[in-house]
Amino acid sequence: MSGPIHIQPGETFILNVGPQHPATHGVLRVKMEMDGEYIVKAETVLGYIHRMHELMGENRTYPQVLPNLSRLDYLGALGYTHGHVLAVERASGIEVPERAEYIRVITVELNRVASHLFWFGAFVMDLGGFTPLMYAIEDREYILDMLEAVTGSRLTYCYYRFGGLYNDIDDEFIDRARAFIPRMRKSLKKYDALVTGNIIFRKRLEGIGPISAEMCRKYGATGPVARGSGINFDVRKNEPYSVYPEFDFDVPVYDECDSLARYYVRMEEMEQSLRIIEQGLDKLPEGPIMPKKKPKLIKPPVGDYYQAVETARGSFGIRIVSDGTKNAYRFKLRSPTYSNMSLFDEACEGMMIMDALALMGSLDLVIPEIDR
């Protein structure tokens, strides 16, 4: 459903969706000018959970900032810390042992699956179906337990170190990861049977919330949002980092541009992540997890470094402007949801509020990551 037919001036009202609203999954506020059920104009208001991580990045040494990164996005935290260690390693030229790289990829992909699982549950809950969330959380819990055993925390990981890892994985982790793959594949089939074929679910998403490829480009949307609009863009493939070139995986792309396409992309990405984990476990080389030669104090040479990684939500970028000291001179975080969310104002104009909230759910918002 789209487009109010006639809007009488003075007949609209302002509806504040948020900052405390069940659909915004956090403290996000969207000021909507409504004509009955239709949205005439929307303005997103941010900053309710702004913590100025960029300034913290300037005030702390590089290792001290490391835990901050996982506070950006509490659902896919490893991807963000991965970006940071990669950026600093690039800047200071630290070599990473191969085993550490493989473990990083395995854990990042596990975390991606966990993040997508939670999104899946929360998204269907946005549409009014509560049950899939419980199923998704059950599977996610398995991953969190697994990661907790090796990283020491459940959500806000600080597992990667410059040059390697804090902790090596053990046989138990490998066994559990191996057991997880068939279990998750079975679950994915179950979700498909439970949710994807549901007529109400499909009617609510098909053709709803169109985001064109051109719009993605103008707003800088990345990740599953862009891939749902027919853009074959995945930083893991386009600008390969870490050991991703050694893995065989596909990037799911759908041309429909609607909310259902974004749903399909994420669901298929989980399967691809499982493939990566499977290969990673097979190929996992022996060796150290920290480099032999590593500077005691991280002091990247003067320069301006950029590192992009593909997190669960899209292309996350870190810009480090170094002045040669142990603190960054400028520490810029380019968060994917920030760009993805910025197109919401334009995309939801003329939609009905329930469709707009379905669109919002399909963007996979994590508010601390938008506000930083």
Partner 1 sequence: MIKDTVLQSLRGLFPDPEPVVEEIVTEAAEGDEAEGEKKKPAKKKKEPRNNGVIEHDYAQYGYDIDVQLDPGELLAAVMIIDKAGFFLESVTGVDWIKEEQLEVVYDFSRYDFDTCRVVIRTRTPRAKPKVPTISKIYPGANWHERETHDFFGIKFDGHPHLVPLLLPEDADFHPLLKDFKP
Partner 2 sequence: MSLTILNAVIAVVIAIAFAALNAAYLVWAERRGAGRIQRRPGPNVNGPLGLLQPPADGLKLMTKQLIIPGGADKALFMVAPVLAMAPAIMSFVTIPFSENIVARSMNIGVLMIFAFASLGAMSILLAGWGSRNKYGVMAAVRAVSQNISYEIPMLITVITIVMMTGTMDLKELVAGQSGGIWNWNLVPSLSSPLMPVAFLIFFICTLAETNRAPFDLGEAESELVAGFHTEYGSMGFGLFFMGEYANIVIGASLITILFLGGWGCPLGLFPGVWWFLLKIYLLIFSFIWIRWTFPRTTIYGLLNLSWKILIPISLFNLLFTAGLLKVF
**CB neighbours (10 Å) of residue 345?**
17
Least distance in Å: CB of 241 to partner 1? 9
Chain positions 101 to 130 lying near partner 1, rule: CB under 8 A, are none
Cα separation, 95 vs 164, in Å, equals 9
Say if CB 265 and CB 227 are below 8 A apart.
Answer: yes
Among partner 2, partner 1, none, the one that 130 touches (CB under a kind-dependent 5 to 8 A) is: partner 2
Among 2, 16, 232, 325, binds partner 1 (CB under 8 A): 232
Q: Which tokens belong to 265?
A: 């992309």
Nearer to partner 1, 52 or 200 (CB): 52
Nearer to partner 2, 118 or 201 (CB): 201
Cα 95–Cα 77–Cα 259 angle in degrees, nearest 5: 120
Looking at residue 175, its amino acid is D
Among 100, 184, 216, 357, binds partner 1 (CB under 8 A): 216
Stretch 7-46: interaction string toward partner 1, x if CB under 8 A: ---------------------------------------x
Chain positions 296 to 335 lying near partner 1, rule: CB under 8 A, are 301-308, 315, 317, 319, 321, 323-324, 329-330, 332, 334
Nearer to partner 2, 193 or 297 (CB): 193
Our finding on whether 54 is near partner 1 (CB under 8 A) is yes
Least distance in Å: CB of 168 to partner 1? 28
Nearer to partner 2, 134 or 302 (CB): 134
Spatial strand order in the sheet of 13-17: 13-17, 29-35, 38-45
Nearer to partner 2, 143 or 352 (CB): 352
Chain positions 133 to 162 lying near partner 1, rule: CB under 8 A, are none
Cα separation, 149 vs 163, in Å, equals 21
Nearer to partner 1, 16 or 232 (CB): 232
Concatenating the DSSP letter of every residue in 322-334 gives E-SSSBEEEEEEE
Say if CB 123 and CB 361 are below 8 A apart.
Answer: yes
The values of phi and psi at residue 316, to 5°, are -100, 130
Residue numbers at the binding site for partner 2 (CB under 8 A): 1, 13, 15, 21-23, 36-37, 124-131, 134-135, 138, 198, 200-201, 203-204, 352-355, 357
Cα 365–Cα 368–Cα 372 angle in degrees, nearest 5: 120
Looking at residue 111, its amino acid is N
Among partner 1, partner 2, none, the one that 329 touches (CB under a kind-dependent 5 to 8 A) is: partner 1
Cα separation, 182 vs 43, in Å, equals 44
96: nearest Cα among 167, 192, 161: 161
187: enclosing H helix or E strand:
helix 171-191
Among 27, 231, 243, 284, binds partner 1 (CB under 8 A): 231
Among partner 2, partner 1, none, the one that 332 touches (CB under a kind-dependent 5 to 8 A) is: partner 1
Least distance in Å: CB of 14 to partner 2? 8
Nearer to partner 2, 27 or 321 (CB): 27
Least distance in Å: CB of 1 to partner 2? 5
298: nearest Cα among 69, 9, 90: 90
Say if CB 47 and CB 278 are below 8 A apart.
Answer: no
Say if CB 166 and CB 159 are below 8 A apart.
Answer: yes
Nearer to partner 1, 54 or 168 (CB): 54
Going by C-beta distance under 8 Å and a sequence separation of 6 or more, which residues neighbour residue 82? 104, 108, 160, 242, 309
108: nearest Cα among 38, 52, 160: 160
Number of residues that bind partner 1 (CB under 8 A): 48
Residues that bind partner 1 in the complex, under the rule CB under 8 A: 46-47, 50, 52, 54-55, 58, 87, 90, 216-222, 226, 231-233, 237-239, 301-308, 315, 317, 319, 321, 323-324, 329-330, 332, 334, 338-339, 342-343, 346, 371-372
